[in-house]
Amino acid sequence: MARFAIGDRVRISDREEARHHRVPAYVKGHEGVVERICAAQGQPETLALGEDGEPIQTVYRIHIPQTRLWPGYEGPNGDSLEIEIFEHWLESARC
Amino acid sequence: MTDEHHSHKHPLQTDHPEPSSHHELMGIALNDLLVSKGIYDNAEMNAMIESIENIEPNTHGARVVARAWVDPEYKAFLLKDGMSAVESLGLDPGYAVLTAVENTPEVHNLVVCTLCSCYPRFLLGRPPVWYKSKAYRSRVVREPRAVLREFGTEIPTGVEVRVHDSTAELRYIVIPMRPAETEGMSESELASLVSRDSMIGTALAGRP
């Protein structure tokens, strides 16, 4: 079951992770909106160690305005970044 | 190159340059281990390399785009379920979830993999060297318009530039906008306008 729905505001966790993971530093701690639900996939942190990746995580595409990611962004306000984030790296941003 | 290195067999292609860095040697060592453990053999490795080298963007990806241009139902199918849509043309979609994103008068899409070099090889063949470079990967997420200008691609300010950072088991193909004055063209003529770069998003489709 997907914890978040399309349109939900979410925050990408800014925790540190020593194992292989697929969350680049530049998006950690940023807020965005769920643009779509992409897939359900195993966790890279344990798959990379030859384990089973369980529990499987919903993968979301998160829409983030560029002007929020980069102070002094050169382009117009509408420009955006979309990135796939596994559910265990997302927190609700509604509270 | 030392004699020691040549004293064992490794499955380098005959035209492969000699390894020049620690990481290349590590890659060869890992490959040797996988072969010696029987995970795969040299013949399988070479067959896979050969099949990827034979994929031409204009025979695979461009066919998909041209079909989407001429057939709105196919385009809807491609946007909804990229893998099945690609398979329906008799092409191999690969193992990762294939996602097509469509350029429109409002949105220009651009693809990068900042963490490594994820790329839809089954549709576009081997990625260009710049796609894997640190410069492209680090710059295109923070100054996409400047990078696009270096490719000769100017996107008007009123159009949203949307960068897709491909971080999971998904692969992206951009459906570029169909150029003007192509109404009478056949599907294969249209496919010839679809460059590799236009399916990454660093270029627009060619003009007839």
Tell me the per-residue pLDDT of A50-92, one tens digit each, with 9 for 90 and over.
999 999 999 999 999 999 999 999 999 999 999 999 999 999 9
Are B138 and B194 members of one domain? yes
* ipTM over cut 0.90: yes
Are B39 and B66 within one domain? Answer: no
Whether the CB-CB separation of A85 and B157 falls below 8 Å is answered with no
CA angle B125, B154, B170 (to 5 degrees): 35
Establish if A78 belongs to a structural domain.
Answer: yes
Q: Which residues contact B144 (CB under 8 A, 6 or more apart)?
A: A66, A75, A79, B110, B161, B163
Q: Structurally, how many domains does chain A consist of?
A: 1
Q: Report the DSSP pairing between strands A80-86 and A57-65.
A: antiparallel
Structure tokens, A40: 């359900």
Give percent of chain B with pLDDT exceeding 90. 63
A38 falls within a domain: yes
**pLDDT for B10-52, tens place per residue?**
445 666 677 778 888 898 899 899 999 999 998 898 888 888 8
Q: Are residues B41 and B137 in the same domain?
A: no
| B106 plus B195 within the same structural domain | yes
The reply to whether B170 and B146 lie within a common domain is yes
Which residues are A11's β-sheet partners? Answer: A31, A91
Do B128 and B184 share a domain, yes or no? yes
B15 inside domain: no
Disruptive mutation site among B83, B142, B174 for chain A (greatest number of A CBs within 10 Å): B142
User: Which one of B167, B170, B171 would you mutate to disrupt binding with A, by most A Cβ within 10 Å of its Cβ?
Assistant: B167
Total structural domains within chain B = 2
Structural domain includes residue B205: no
Tell me, yes or no, whether B82 and B182 share the same domain.
yes
Collect all residues of chain B within an 8 Å Cβ-Cβ radius of residue A73: 142
Same domain? B31 vs B89: no
Inside any domain, residue A59: yes
A67 touches chain B (CB under 8 A): no
Domain with residue A15: its CATH number is 2.30.30.50
The parent domain of residue B34 ranges over 22-54
**Are B117 and B27 in the same domain?**
no
Spatial separation of the C-alpha atoms in residues B46 and B44, rounded to whole Å: 5
Written in H, E and C, the secondary structure of A29-69 is: CCEEEEEEEEEEECCHHHHCCCCCCCCCEEEEEEEEEHHHH
Q: Give pLDDT, residue A91.
A: 96
**Per-residue pLDDT, B15:** 64
Longest dimension (CA), chain A: 44
Examine residue A60 and state whether it is found in any structural domain, yes or no.
yes
**Are residue B27 and residue B97 in the same domain, yes or no?**
no
Hey, are the CB atoms on A80 and B144 less than 8 Å from each other?
Answer: no
- Judged by CB atoms closer than 8 Å, whether chains meet at B162 and A26 is answered as no
Give me the residues of chain B with pLDDT under 70, please: 1-16, 57-58
Distances from the Cα of A76 to the Cαs of A66, A85, B109, B203, in angstroms?
9, 25, 15, 20
With b for 16 or more beta-carbon neighbours within 10 A and e for fewer, the B186-205 pattern comes to: eeeebbebbbbbbbbbbbbb
Domain boundary among B54, B70, B97: B54
Q: Considering the domain boundaries, does residue B10 fall inside one? A: no
Asked if residue A4 belongs to a domain, the reply is no
Q: Residue B160's beta-bridge partner residues?
A: B107
Report if residue B4 sits inside a domain: no
Partner B contacted by A82 (CB < 8 A):
yes
| End-to-end alpha carbon distance in chain B | 50
Number of residues written out for chain A: 95
Q: Are residues B79 and B160 in the same domain?
A: yes
